[in-house]
Structure 1
């Protein structure tokens, strides 16, 4: 399974993303991802025009699962995967 995390928003609006194989994630990252999956339907966006917004995209054998995560709900373990795109 591939896990892609895209970051948008922020003051400068510079997009960033990162992708990992699920097997490459640390146990902390896997736990954080599982927690996000369980609560993703009940998240409401955080107020603020200059906040980051994340999209988590998981792809496994043609099946795609996507969900949005607000800046304050994104665990540091997963936010660290994201890198600014050139």
Structure 2
């Protein structure tokens, strides 16, 4: 499984990108990623999740998951982030710091 993650926006407008692949992760982290994707039910989420009340200086997240020949991309604004997706987003934001 491979997940590409991009965070844009925020007050400073800095873009952060990372890609994680279970083939290159340590075993514990390689087991965690598919679990987080499953909990988020990412393959069933719509491609765009927007807030009815857009707010400036909020982050926007773009996730692309590739697994067993399937691929799905979700773009979501921070203010519309589903609770089920939050653990995956948080994990993806901290994983590059662990390496």
Coarse TM-score class (shorter-chain normalised): 0.5 to 0.7
Q: CA deviation at 1:31?
A: 2.8
Q: 1:44 aligns with which of 50, 72, 78?
A: 50
Q: Which runs of 4+ in 1 moved over 6 A?
A: none
Matched residue, 2:73 = 66
Question: Structure 2: any 5+ residue segments left out of the alignment?
Answer: 24-29
Q: CA deviation at 1:59?
A: 3.1
Higher relative contact order (CA 8 A, sep 6+): 1
Q: How many residues of Structure 1 are paired with residues of Structure 2 in the alignment?
A: 82
SS in 2 for 1:40: coil
Which entry has the higher C-alpha Rg, 1 or 2? 2
TM-score by length of 2: 0.61
CA–CA separation in structure 1 for the residues paired with 2:70 and 2:43: 15
